[in-house]
Amino acid sequence: MSKEAPNATWYEEFFTGAALELWRLAVTPEATEQEVAFLQEALETPVGGHLLDVPCGNGRLSLPMSLLGYQVTGIDTCEEFIKEAKEKAVAYESTVNFAVGDMRKLDEPGKYDGAFCMGNSFGYFDRSGTMQFLEAVYKSLKPDSQFILDSQMIAECFLVNGGEREWVQRGDMYMLVDNHYDAARSFVETEYTFIKGGKEEKRKSTHWIYTAGELSHMCEQAGFTVVEMFGSAECEPFELGAERMLLVARKN
C-alpha cells in the first residue's frame, strides 16, 4: 500500500473558525431534546448520579443533563469549545465541570455512574487508539454502569449512506464534503470546504471505519457487555443502512 498514512492528529487543528460555527448549527434543539431523553432512559442512571460526557464539545448535552439534576463532567481537546461551555454553565447556573483533556487518558477510575460519547465524535483514532479510549472509559465507570456510543461512521451506516461528494447547508453557511475511502485500511479521508459570505475555509479529517461486529468485539475486549444497538434516538433497531448507531454497553 503506497498511500501515505493518514494524519493521526488532524482533530487538534480542525476545530477552529468555520468548523466550530457549522457544528453550532448542525444539530437542532429538537434533536438535542431527543438525545437527552434517550440518554436518560438508556443510561439508567438515577438523577444525582455522576455522568461523563467525552468529548463534550461546547456542552450541548452536558448542560441540559446537568439541569435535569445529574452531576456532569465534560472533557474535550478543543479549548475554544471548553471556554464556551464554561461560559454557558455560568449563564445557566450549571455545575458542570468542563475541562480540556484527552479522551484516551481519563484519570479518575471508578468515579462515574454513566458515560456517553455523542455527536459522531467516535472514530478519530486507529484501532490502538480506539482501544485506549474504550479501556479508559471502562476504568472510569463504577460497576454496572452504562456507556452510550454514538456514530454515523460505522461501516453499516457510512458505506451505505456516505457519498463521495455532497453539499450541506446550515443557515447561511454551506459545506462541501469530499470523501476518499481507503478500503484496504478501512478509513475515510474527508476534505471539507466551508463557504459563508463569499469566503472559504478548508479542513481535512480522517475517520476510521469499524463494522458493528468489530466494535462490539472491541468493547468486549475492554471489559464491557454490549446490551443493545439502536439506529436512532427513538430506539429504532440498528440495521444495515441506518443513519447512525447508538451502542449501549455495560461495565461488568
pLDDT tens per residue, range 104-149: 999 899 999 999 999 999 999 999 999 999 999 999 999 999 999 9
* Residue 233 pLDDT level (bands cut at 50, 70, 90): very high
**Do residues 74 and 97 make contact, with C-beta atoms less than 8 angstroms apart?**
yes
For the chain, what are the domain ranges?
Answer: 11-151+211-251, 157-206
pLDDT reported for residue 1 = 43
pLDDT at 181 over 50: yes
* Residue 2 pLDDT level (bands cut at 50, 70, 90): very low
* Residue 223 pLDDT level (bands cut at 50, 70, 90): very high
**Do residues 54 and 103 make contact, with C-beta atoms less than 8 angstroms apart?**
yes
Q: State what percent of residues in the chain have pLDDT above 90.
A: 95
pLDDT at 3 over 80: no
Q: Which CATH class is domain 11-151+211-251?
A: alpha beta
Q: At what angle are helices 212-222 and 127-140 packed, to 10 degrees?
A: 50
Per-residue pLDDT tens for 189-221? Answer: 999 999 999 999 999 999 999 999 999 999 999
**Residue 30 cell numbers, joined:** 429538537
pLDDT at 89 over 90: yes
Q: What is the mean pLDDT of residues 46-74?
A: 97
CA distance 35 to 26: 14
pTM (predicted TM-score)? 0.94
pLDDT at 70 over 80: yes
Residues 59-91, buried b or exposed e (16+ Cβ, 10 A)?
bbbbbbbbeeebbbbbbbbbeebbebbbebbee
pLDDT at 99 over 50: yes
Residues 139-154, buried b or exposed e (16+ Cβ, 10 A)?
bbbeeebbbbbbbbbb
**Residue tagged 448542560 (cell numbers):** 63
Average pLDDT, the chain: 95
CA distance 72 to 66: 6
Give the CA radius of gyration of the chain. Answer: 18
CA distance 30 to 153: 22
